[in-house]
Amino acid sequence: MDALTAKYRKILTQGMGKDVLIDILRECHFGCTLDATNVHQIAEYNVGVVILAKCGIFSKKTLEDVVNQLCLVSPVEEKTEKEEEE
């Protein structure tokens, strides 16, 4: 692992850094369906992917590990706006 990747990992994968990474990924539409005609949305998504790659999370060698970990996530049914108001 190179020095810059180690720095990204140390800062963005622990404690408050992880909270910041989650917020960045939300802003970058990570995990959402993208509008293929919206170049801004796609560019923002790509920023999120680059940050994950800089953390060493996305690479050719880690893709299978990432998929395996995502498959362990339990689905959560999202509440509708009406349910949230109650």
> How high is the pLDDT of residue 75?
86
The answer, yes or no, to whether residue 16 has pLDDT greater than 70, is: yes
Alpha-carbon distance of 2 to 31, in angstroms, equals: 27
Asked if 44 contacts 28 with a C-beta cutoff of 8 angstroms, the reply is yes
| Identity of the residue numbered 19 | D
For 33-56, how does the pLDDT look when each residue is reduced to its tens digit (9 = 90+)? 999 999 999 999 999 999 999 999
Q: Residue 76 burial by CB count (10 A; 0-12/13-18/19+): exposed, middle or buried?
A: exposed
Is-contact 64 76, C-beta < 8 A?
no
Mapped onto helix, strand or coil, the DSSP state of residue 5 is helix
Mean pLDDT of 13-35: 95
| Amino acid in the structure at residue 81 | E
Structure pTM? 0.76
